Amino acid sequence: MKRHPIPPAYKSWGIGNEVQDDLYKRLKKINEDAVKTADSDGKNSPNGAISEKIAAFYNSGMDSGALATQSIAVLTPELAMIDSIRTPADLVAVSGRLAAEGVGALLGGYIGQDDKNSSKMLMQFFQGGLGLPGRDYYLKNDPRTSAIRVAYITHIGQMLALTGMDRQQATAAGQKVYAIEKQLATASLPLEDLRDPYKNYHKFSVSDLGHQYHTFNFENYLKSAAIPADTVIIGQPLFFKELDALLASVPITDWQLYMKWHLIHRLGKYVNVRLEEEDFNFYGKTMNGLKGQKPRWRRVLETEESCMGEALGQLFVKAYFPEKAKQRYTKLVEDIRGALKDRIERLDWMSDTTKRKALYKLSKITAKVGYPDKWKDFSAMRISKQPYVKNIVAAFKWWHAYEVAKLGKPVDRTEWSMTPQTYNAYYNPANNEIVLPAGIFTVPGKKDDQLDDATIYGYAGASTIGHEITHGFDDQGRLYDAAGNLSDWWTQEDAAGFKQRAEVMVRQFNHYMPVDSLHINGQATLGENIADLGGILLGWEAFKKTKAYQSGKKIGGYTPAQRFFMGYALGWLYSIRPETLAERLLTDVHAPAKYRVNGPFSDVDAFYQAFDVKPGDKMYIAPENRVRIW
């Protein structure tokens, strides 16, 4: 940490940043090569349209001359829509049209699998409409959060003034917008409640919603957003009840200001550098303690990644992820699966009835390793030689149409929701699958064949593969069956036993206080904490069967057991700014990096043996008080 201070443009710094630096240098080369090819008229491009779109997007984002002079007039069609609002019905319609351009306001929504019938895709609505990261920013009264609220109101006014609004009017607008968002936040569920899939599942026919909500007309919204849905899932009905009431009580002129703010909040930083700098001043400096911005090429590539990352991925894997590496990690998945099978069979607190169903679910987990077998077709995405913000809106429109096209069709269980170059992974309960992009297996400065098994089983096996498989059996994942449906397959006694054991972990993490007076929310982070502990145990069980472990050979003075735990910890080497740490404690379902190591290690008996941990040591927990789940 002493040798790696956090750079000015970053919220935190750690191994993930080192990996991403390497990945983004590779992506930069891909983009620059695409630009060179396009400059020579594209005829020699081996990837045709993909390479040309990449070049056009990158060029528009790197056009610093245009971004220095361009005005908000580039968003005239969107601003005209907002100015045309005269009634609550107009407001609902305009919010639907803007949502199709990637500008979410009033609420949140996405198209995804029905939790209780994973073979169906449904439109799903959830609480939203906020410019701050979550409800607690509007409701908590500690000094840090209170100061951010004050700065946020000023920021809204500054951004609106930069669009040409009279400064006095813009300042007043900041207060009005905040007042609306405060009411939406007050009606929102807290972070821990959002993790309960039953509490957030309410299915309605669209025609029936008219009896529930009188001012927010869902049919109007869906039609305006070009979403042909007749059945929807409402995540938080009480939030929508409050939204319905606000539409009738808040003046339309205030709603116009609110919509204008959310348009500028979402797209302004892509219009010109003045709006981008003000956006950074608040969300970068004030909220996260950043001292400066990343270079423009990196900012453009990060945006490009969110807009058309899988297109980049097609070029990335050809250059950087060999088949031999894919085979290594595919085998490691099966080693980890075998370890969990053994552990389930040995559980002393679970009945044979539930064990059989757990083992069946485990056997049905699909593993996607490295990159998709089938790539998305981006040919209809209208990326061209046009302003940067127009290319971004074009990408948002394409994604909207892509998602809407899923309605009424069979679920594509081969689809990936991350790009191959992503330093991350996920478990999807609806598909009962783990998805492991090529980027997640990278260790900075090392080729895959330079890493010994102790490191790999800790770094990739425990913290990634074992972690994601355990998500299928954490406090949320366990509620889904082998087919991906929200279904209670546990006996009543076993469910009670699980909850009792999980509560030990909630209390353990509630005790950790990383910054100021803010402690970790043990209930909100429970799923990730269970997955971390499970991943370590599975990686360890699998590692004990390897020649590397059985040899007992020391490397650098460390035993194979010690290197395994160090391999896991390698993935969580991070320094973090206190401002960012405070934000994440309020909004993130993951514990801070330090506690993703020290927390679960304190519950693992093998860790005590590997490092001779004794009573009185800071991480020591008495055996009878350690978390015992999977």
> What CATH number does the domain containing 530 carry?
3.40.390.10
Co-location of 184 and 326 in the same domain: no
- Tokens in use for 289? 């303690």
**What band does 45 get if pLDDT is binned at 50, 70 and 90?**
very low
Average pLDDT over residues 381-409: 97
Q: Is the pLDDT of residue 368 over 70?
A: yes
Closest to 228 (Cα-Cα) out of 148, 122, 75, 299:
122
> Mind spelling out the 3-state secondary structure of 132-158?
CCCCHHHHCCCHHHHHHHHHHHHHHHH
Average pLDDT over residues 173-193: 97
Q: List the beta strands (DSSP E) in 258-388.
A: 366-370
Closest to 55 (Cα-Cα) out of 70, 74, 42:
42
DSSP character at residue 426:
E
pLDDT digits (tens, 9 = 90+) for 70-109: 999 999 999 999 999 999 999 999 999 999 999 999 999 9
User: Does 213 fall in a domain?
Assistant: yes
Calculate the average pLDDT of the chain. 95
Q: List the beta strands (DSSP E) in 364-456.
A: 366-370, 426-428, 433-437
User: Does 311 fall in a domain?
Assistant: no
Helix%, strand%, coil% for the chain, nearest 5: 60, 10, 35
pLDDT digits (tens, 9 = 90+) for 197-242: 999 999 999 999 989 999 999 999 999 999 999 999 999 999 999 9
* Cα–Cα distance list, 58 to 21, 35, 303, 622 (Å): 18, 8, 10, 56
Q: In what order do the strands lie in the sheet with 117-126?
A: 108-114, 117-126, 231-234, 203-205
CA 347, CA 534: separation in Å to the nearest integer? 13
Q: Is the pLDDT of residue 43 over 70?
A: no
CA 502, CA 506: separation in Å to the nearest integer? 6
Q: Where are the alpha helices (DSSP H) in 472-618?
A: 492-510, 526-543, 547-551, 560-570, 578-587, 593-601, 605-611
140: domain CATH number is 1.10.1380.10
Co-location of 193 and 333 in the same domain: no
Co-location of 242 and 339 in the same domain: no
User: Does 587 fall in a domain?
Assistant: no
pLDDT digits (tens, 9 = 90+) for 486-515: 999 999 999 999 999 999 999 999 999 999
pLDDT, greater one: 321 or 489: 489
Average pLDDT over residues 477-490: 96
Average pLDDT over residues 596-618: 98
Q: Which region, left, alpha or beta, applies to residue 397 given φ > 0 means left and ψ of -120 to 50 means alpha? A: alpha
Find the domain containing 358 and state its range: 321-374+415-507+522-573+593-625
Q: Is the pLDDT of residue 47 over 70?
A: no
User: Does 216 fall in a domain?
Assistant: yes
Co-location of 261 and 325 in the same domain: no
Co-location of 110 and 229 in the same domain: yes
Co-location of 424 and 491 in the same domain: yes
Co-location of 235 and 342 in the same domain: no
Q: Indicate the residue type of 314.
A: Q
pLDDT digits (tens, 9 = 90+) for 287-319: 999 999 999 999 999 999 999 999 888 888 877
Closest to 441 (Cα-Cα) out of 469, 474, 465, 417:
465
Give the CB-side neighbour count of residue 307, counting CA atoms within 13 A. Answer: 28
Co-location of 466 and 610 in the same domain: yes
User: Does 561 fall in a domain?
Assistant: yes
When divided into structural domains, the chain yields a total of 2
Strands 366-370 and 433-437: parallel
Co-location of 130 and 219 in the same domain: yes
User: Does 615 fall in a domain?
Assistant: yes
Co-location of 227 and 112 in the same domain: yes
pTM beyond 0.85: yes
User: Does 586 fall in a domain?
Assistant: no
What does R_g of the chain's alpha carbons equal in angstroms?
25
Co-location of 551 and 459 in the same domain: yes
**What band does 41 get if pLDDT is binned at 50, 70 and 90?**
low
User: Does 176 fall in a domain?
Assistant: yes
Model pLDDT, residue 48: 53
Co-location of 342 and 457 in the same domain: yes
Q: Is the pLDDT of residue 44 over 70?
A: no
